[in-house]
Structure 1
């Protein structure tokens, strides 16, 4: 759906003022805004802006809010869907609870949880850092100490926190403290953020059981840390698996191939151990 002229100008103003907008993006947006204010043809200027942004858009290298603007401008409806942040809230203190997990790129952490029965909402965001209102560029640049994570609101009548922890282990590589899969860096380290003693006890017990299982040859390095402020990521990142299905499937496939290989190694190691014991 094409924005009208006034909406487009407002969007340009907001993006220019947005501290998360990169300088080269801001210069392009400012140039178009000035031309429009001076009476330039609207369609021609938008076409020029689309052409200037296209090379970076095709490489998925625009900042999130500029990417949203580009998708809206070009009619990419699926990627332009806005996440309703107001609905991500606990509205029933008796039967709802929340959990926070970090396990690499948050794009691949949403669908597995969101499609479970009893899940109210899953939000991608940043946590564990020391800067308020961090942007994607800041977190990616390792300037804030945050990790990419998901916050899950769930109905305790249908699903329990222990169930979420169990699924979390299946989605991540708990032996890799320097990132997850193809995602490298401290912003991708695996962490279970616990909000209270109850969650901490469940997470620690589950982690110990995993370590005792002998499934992994290397130590379990996933950390369990107190939950801190969870900052929502930009709209572009919310429910990425729905907005950018092709790219999501490619990334998810690579993760699953690694996990499948890892599980096969574990199975072979277990079988070898059993065989050795029998021979002894």
Structure 2
């Protein structure tokens, strides 16, 4: 009897189908083969047989090693990850996904997602997007409020010939913040659009993001025509826009409020104004934009009037 790659005897050596092949070896290779056979106390054909069988074991080891590395990565990421086969059955669930879905991997693996786990999602956003991904073989992304788990989800799905992989995360905090910001913006506009003062907001390029309607009373220019333009593009006199832009640079650079006073030719004659330039900060504490609060400077106007009289 012959022995396998581990050195164990093969009881089925005689019954296995053999193939006679012609192998061309250099003299050096032949001597190495002969030497290895003598060292092991087996024939040259057994050495070749053992080597051939070892290739399958090495291939299996490589596959298992690769799968292990992938599993380690999927378990270490903070995103939830699940994979489905072509029959919509769970084939993989990482810890983050199990926690977010309030289930154990054992409760999901092998189960049909639409029939057994989340039948209430049939026809919904996730159902439609995942079926589109598989049918068209294209990656898809979506956001939705997951009723079964009561949180907002951001999801990305990537199809393959064997099924579809889905990465998703809880974005409830972000959605809540976005909602709060929208409410604040609505409140801001409600105040700004009914205030007699001119209220505006500029970005880091000194372009107007917002200007309240009261600007039209002073300039004759509708507020919407200011949006997206700088003071230079709006035709402001050079000596005046330089004062503004110097203050903008100071506010963006230092994060500190600036105050300027200037006179401006309005539809009702020359008027003095005082402007407060207030930095608005981003989440990383950098200055994201500037809020300009512009009102008539009555004290200066009276002083100029008295001196002229």
TM-score (norm 1): 0.25
Which is richer in strand? 2
TM-score (norm 2): 0.23
Larger of the two Rg values belongs to structure: 2
Which is richer in helix? 1
Higher relative contact order (CA 8 A, sep 6+): 1
